[in-house]
Amino acid sequence: MKIVVLVKQVPDSGSERSLRADDGTVDRASASNVINEMDEYAIEEALKIAEAQGGEVTLLTMGPDAATESIRKALSMGPDGAVHVTDDALHGSCALGTSKVLAAALRTLEFDLVLCGAESTDGRTQTMPHMLAERLGVPALTGARKLTVEGSTLTVERQTDEGYEVVQATGPAIVSVWDTINEPRYPSFKGIMAAKKKPIATKSLADLGVEAGEVGLAGATSKVLSSAKRPARSGGQKVEDSGNGGADLVAYLSAEKFV
């Protein structure tokens, strides 16, 4: 089974993140960048399937040159190789532009299954699997908390607010996963050493036959007009206990409809 996992490098959600003042895009240069958290679950799922059924796992990343670091890190978990689409003209691509590029890259690869995280912690659109499915003409099974692969039949438990839905499709297909699906492994020391020797194929827009004007800031269908920092957290409400602290707490909780 040939599996492609989409991996995005994002600014660490645990550290200070900001948008660039000039064009409103995510400031990647000054951020501490990591593998999008949800993508690690997609990689783990791919590795588990490949270990159980045999197969090959390839990572696909679109991002600046510096994303190589995250690709190596992801490779140290165990995938066989990676494709890195990088091109100066890609800066500022919107979700539609990104999906155009990733779809073009996927067309150059053979796959039975594409796995990705349900969302990225920077964009958070949750639309990439649908857009790719549409462009490639394959089914999308999104938001999986469980995936079963039997031959070319893919069965997914699709996580919803109330519970889950069981949905099925015939591969090749795209499956996006939530962090409830598995527990990603740590890279091993041997994996880290092996990752240094694994192939990373670099592709430009020209290699993929995508016009520079269709993507990047120039081709973006959406634009950040303005942005503001989230306000600092306010102090919270303190209940002083002068005999009736318990009653005051309950009054607060019921006013806020917690109880």
Partner 1 sequence: MTVERILPTEEAAALLELTTELADAELAPRAAAFEERGEFPREVLRTLGRAGLLGLPYEEKYGGAAQPYEVYLQVLEILASRWLTVAEAVSVHTLACYPVAMYGSEELKARFLPDAVGGELLGAYCLSEPAGGSDAANLTTKAVLDGDEYVVNGTKAWITHAGEADFYNVFCRTGGPGPKGISCLFADASTPGLNPQKRERTMGLTGSPVAQVALDDARVPADRLVGGEGIGFTIAMSALDAGRLGIAACAVGLAQAALDYAVEYAKGREQFNTRIIDFQGLGFMLADMATQVSAARAMVLATARLRDNGRPFSVEAAKAKLFATDMAMKVTTDAVQVLGGYGYVHDHPVERYMREAKLLQIVEGTNQIQRLVISRSLAK
- Percentages helix, strand, coil for the chain (3-state, rounded to 5) are 30, 25, 45
Interface ranges with partner 1 (CB under 8 A): 185-193
135: exposed, middle or buried (C-beta count within 10 Å: 0-12, 13-18, 19+)? middle
The enclosing H or E element of 110 equals none
Q: How far is the CB of 23 from partner 1 (least distance, A)?
A: 33
**Cβ closest to partner 1, residue 129 vs residue 187:** 187
**Cβ closest to partner 1, residue 92 vs residue 187:** 187
Contacts of residue 220, Cβ cutoff 8 Å, sequence gap at least 6:
92, 93, 94, 97
DSSP 26: B
Q: How far is the CB of 37 from partner 1 (least distance, A)?
A: 13
Q: How far is the CB of 189 from partner 1 (least distance, A)?
A: 4
Q: How far is the CB of 193 from partner 1 (least distance, A)?
A: 6
Collapse the DSSP code of 178 into the 3-class scheme (helix H, G, I; strand E, B; otherwise coil) and give the result: coil
Task: Tell how far CA 221 is from the center of its chain.
Answer: 21
Q: How far is the CB of 79 from partner 1 (least distance, A)?
A: 17
Q: How far is the CB of 40 from partner 1 (least distance, A)?
A: 12
**Cβ closest to partner 1, residue 64 vs residue 191:** 191
**Cβ closest to partner 1, residue 7 vs residue 141:** 7
Give the phi and the psi of residue 88 in degrees, each rounded to 5. Answer: -55, -35
How far CA 150 is from CA of 5, 147, 153, 169, 170, in Å, comes to: 19, 10, 5, 11, 10
**Cβ closest to partner 1, residue 69 vs residue 88:** 69
Angle at 44 between CA 61 and CA 151, to 5 degrees: 95
Establish how many alpha carbons lie within 13 A of residue 50's alpha carbon, considering only the half-sphere containing its beta carbon.
Answer: 23
3: exposed, middle or buried (C-beta count within 10 Å: 0-12, 13-18, 19+)? buried
Contact 56, 46 (CB under 8 A): no
**Cβ closest to partner 1, residue 96 vs residue 192:** 192
Q: How far is the CB of 4 from partner 1 (least distance, A)?
A: 25
**Cβ closest to partner 1, residue 10 vs residue 90:** 10
**Cβ closest to partner 1, residue 34 vs residue 85:** 34
Q: How far is the CB of 146 from partner 1 (least distance, A)?
A: 23
